[in-house]
Amino acid sequence: MKIAVIGAGSSYTPELISGLMCVAKELDLDQVWFHDVDERRLHIMHSFCERLIKGCFALFKTSDFVQAVRRADYVIFQFRPGGLKSRKLDEEIPLKYGLIGQETTGVGGFAAALRAFGVIENYVDLIDKNSEALIINFTNPSGHITEFVLNYLGFERFIGLCNVPINVLKHISKLFSCNVEDIFVKYYGLNHLSFIEKVWFKNKDVTNELFNKVSQQSEPELPAWLISSLGLFVNPYLRYYLSTQTVLNKLMKEGTRAQKVLEIEERLFQHYEKFDSIPEELSLRGGSLYSTAAAMLIRDLALSNNSVHIVNTKNDGSIQNLPSDYVLEIPCLTKSKRVLPVSLGEADQFAVGLIHTIKMYERLTIEAYLKKSKSIAMKALLLHPLGPRSHNVRELLEEILEANREYVRLS
């Protein structure tokens, strides 16, 4: 088996490679190809991972995208158009307008998506022409990109993935002192806008027990009384929607996450240049269990073993009161290199309302990119609950476009 990693210069890559090492024998994985547009980071990461794998499989690097993906079985997208410097702007620019700056949500996610669409469109076209590979996408905003690829590019061999679901499942299993495999959740929504309505432990409904356990671990931005009132366990990113002012005040006071990540990354790459082990400091970077999510999904897709994974794909009837063509984050069975959504019934009306709003925002953003339209882009920003209003939307949009003129131009 051949796997290509696009954006292999990421500081996450050693964790991904560790995950692939764990499943290499089951997959008969014999070659992994690294590609990145940053040659320095690509060289450092390739050298470090070669020392890490100790011959577990052959590891190649190339600046030629087609060489990396040709005849690959799976391609992993984990690149960040514009790098962390662009992420920093995604977080800082909204703050100037009194808005939350976050890399995947709201105004920051809007800018990140516009940067990504053109790169994604080019890469998907090249893969379509040179490979039968299935793409596993971690590039943010993952769900928005999956919506773009499946519903606008019409490319079906594409699955969006995030580490939040596996971390949530790990947390629940820890609360019940059991294995993740013993738990099933009625989980649905969009990437970074998801909800858990029911939880079963070995076929027993333990939702009320979980509410009781979670109420003892309340946090200021998502307090227990709020979760209880909603009757839903919410994705941690819902704090931006439900405690907007509290989060905004915190960001204004403490500064952006991107600046901290830039400092962590510099120290990580200094380590990668000199040593052979994965540094503990990688845990500060975020993305916990990223490697587990990716490696286990590829293993179960390849083995076609009907395991359940929560991924971003078309609804296809999983949630009865949402359109079938919506790309949702939902539980799916792995079968013959495909994911088959599990039927979950209807979604809660509160969740449905937010999902509809953000899905329409996603689609307007995609249309703005495809039609090169500022007016449609303004519609997208005005629709988003975390976006600007009429008094500052034009100025904000112009600043975003100026900061990202290398990637997108609207008129």
**Residue 287 CA to chain centroid, in angstroms?**
9
Cα 44 from chain centroid (whole Å) = 25
| DSSP H or E segment with residue 14 | helix 13-27
Q: What is the DSSP letter of 155?
A: -
Distances in Å between the Cα of 15 and the Cα atoms of 62, 160, 277, 278, 283 are 20, 19, 11, 8, 10
CB crowding 246-280: b at 16 or more within 10 Å, else e: ebbeebeeeebbbeebeebbeebbebbeeeeebbe
**Cα dihedral sign, 71-314-84-390:** positive
SS3 154: coil
Catalytic residue among 237, 240, 272, 326: 237
Do residues 132 and 109 lie in contact, with contact meaning Cβ atoms separated by under 8 Å? no
CA distances from 320 to 312, 336, 343, 356 (A): 17, 25, 8, 14
Sign of the CA dihedral running 175, 178, 180, 181:
negative
**H-only helix segments in 149-256:** 164-175, 207-215, 224-230, 239-242, 244-254
Nearest Cα to Cα of residue 310 among 279, 334, 284: 334
Measured in residues, the chain has a length of 411
d(CA 315, CA 342): 9
286 and 11 in contact (C-beta within 8 Å)? no
Indicate the residue type of 337. K
Here the tokens at position 127 are: 């893969």
Decide if 272 is catalytic. no
Q: Residue 356 and residue 348: Cα distance in Å, rounded?
A: 12
Active-site residues, by number, are: 237
